Structure 1
């Protein structure tokens, strides 16, 4: 039944419909990464639809549909007559084994891509459900393959933000930095390059320690970056640091656990030391959309949420920090810093 005629702003109706179909772009993006379509276009393109299908071992009809969607999504462009190539953005972020590519992040989530069913499970249970009833961090600690995939994915998403953070971080006088939960050390690598006097200690679970050592060796920074086995909550943190970094850590935990992390950071610092929180923040208007949507990821992966600068400032002050400052660094990322008095 059509129902009574109503005066509707077409843009309002399109807003809902566009939100509904947006998942198709994510699905096509992930499928292109997993099947190697982006890789083939990068190495062999421009290619016709038929040539791309043959080179990828895929069905031509399927590839034609994929090309149409990716072209509209500005990830693929038509060049010449009927040949296709990657756009600069896709060539940078959708191709495997390129520095800073997001392909590893996208590929890791395919088995647990944020689906309506997963969100509904999170809505009903209120807690992490991406691994069923298993705790994600315990799963990573027990399964080196999962730990490696997650570590590589976090490296992918952090590469460009890490370089920007190194330009903004107030570390000119710092000698020792604790990178708490620092993954494979992506941020520490950028900071060590920018500040030759700085030694970074990356605190991580045992399954991740080899990744830190590998990355430090690859970058020639073994003298500036060291791996330290530890747990964010189960064991005491080492002390005597001039700076503590929490990059993409606060959003993984509940408010109470976030407060515990900040108290631990405070105790790890020398008087006058600096805590650095590197996150994708929520603005006063509730946006940007990309950051707000990550709340759904946090629902199914963690106990946390995306923070605003105001909320972080309050929590940092409660932990004893002073002089809280927030600044944008890169894209959706921001740095919130504060000082331990003394």
Structure 2
């Protein structure tokens, strides 16, 4: 039996339902990347539904439903009746093998979808659970395929932000940079191109080292980028650097471990050296929503959280750094920097 309707602000009428149904868009997005629908529309569009179904080997009814959803999500556009192509945003971010594309990150959702069941598991256990009871970093160290998939996803998410970071980073006088936990070296590539005098050492686990060397060769930067086997916590970091970069590293770890990382960065630096922290920060009002939602990813993947600039500044100061600065770089990303006295 229906009760009386509650009075509600018109702006809030659809808030809960829209949040509930939003997962369908991300599911369709991932399905379109994995099946190559975005790739086909980029290469051969505009295409009709029937032509896209034939080219992809998928069912026409399914492709029609997908097109309708992606068009409403502003990822596909109908350029003339019955013929579809990608919007500029989808052409940039949803097509494989394009510089700056997010396709590698989106594709990882297929095997590692942030489902309600996985979030509940994280809520109950309070720790990483994306690989069941296994530690994610141990899984990557033991399984080169998982390490490669994760490395490719992190490359995808960092490509465009890396270029903006290179424009903002205060590295004009730096000669040696340690990219701690730098994945396949995406950020180091951007920094090496922006600062020809800079040599970047990417500290990573053994499973990732071939990816670093491969990317350096592809970019013609073998003389500026080197890979160094190491562990963020188990082994001492090398010293004598003018800069240390922690890009999407702090949010992977607990507050205590984050403090340890900053002390290690401090010890790795020469006096007067600079620490760079590249993260998607939480604003004083708790937003933006996209950054706040990443806390759920951190819950199931890591022991960490998304940081605010204030919290990071306090931690940096406690480690001994001075002159903390924060600036927005690209989209949801920000750069925090500080100096080791001397």
Q: Shared topology, TM-score over 0.5?
A: yes
Query: What does the per-residue CA deviation read over 1:75-131, in whole Å, with 9 as the maximum and x for residues that have no partner?
Result: 000011210000111111111111111111111121111111110000000000000
Instruction: Identify the residue that residue 255 of structure 1 maps to in structure 2.
Output: 255
Structure 1 residue 11 displacement after superposition: 2.4
Higher deviation after alignment, 168-177 or 3-12: 3-12
TM-score normalised by structure 1 residue count: 0.99
Matches within 5 A, 1:116-265: 116-265=116-265
TM-score normalised by structure 2 residue count: 0.99
How far apart, CA to CA, are the structure 2 residues paired with 1:47 and 1:126? 47
- Alignment gaps of 5+ in structure 2: none
Q: Give the secondary structure class of the aligned counterpart of 2:334.
A: strand
- Alignment gaps of 5+ in structure 1: none
Structure 1 residue ranges (4+ consecutive) displaced by more than 4 angstroms after TM superposition: none
Structure 1 residue 7 displacement after superposition: 1.5
How many residues are paired up? 342
How far apart, CA to CA, are the structure 2 residues paired with 1:51 and 1:2? 47
How far apart, CA to CA, are the structure 1 residues paired with 2:174 and 2:271? 12
How far apart, CA to CA, are the structure 2 residues paired with 1:191 and 1:103? 23
Query: What does the per-residue CA deviation read over 1:133-178, in whole Å, with 9 as the maximum and x for residues that have no partner?
Result: 0000000000000001110110010000000000000000000000
Structure 1 vs Structure 2 CA RMSD? 0.7
How far apart, CA to CA, are the structure 2 residues paired with 1:235 and 1:180? 12
How far apart, CA to CA, are the structure 2 residues paired with 1:31 and 1:24? 10
Structure 1 residue 44 displacement after superposition: 1.1
How far apart, CA to CA, are the structure 2 residues paired with 1:167 and 1:68? 39
How far apart, CA to CA, are the structure 2 residues paired with 1:134 and 1:143? 12
Q: Give the secondary structure class of the aligned counterpart of 2:14.
A: helix
Q: Give the secondary structure class of the aligned counterpart of 1:24.
A: helix
Query: What does the per-residue CA deviation read over 1:15-70, in whole Å, with 9 as the maximum and x for residues that have no partner?
Result: 11100100000000001011111111111111001111111111111111100000
Structure 1 residue 9 displacement after superposition: 2.2
Q: Give the secondary structure class of the aligned counterpart of 2:111.
A: helix
How far apart, CA to CA, are the structure 1 residues paired with 2:5 and 2:50? 47
Structure 1 residue 229 displacement after superposition: 0.3
How far apart, CA to CA, are the structure 2 residues paired with 1:281 and 1:163? 18
Q: Give the secondary structure class of the aligned counterpart of 1:112.
A: coil
1:269 has 2:269 as partner: yes
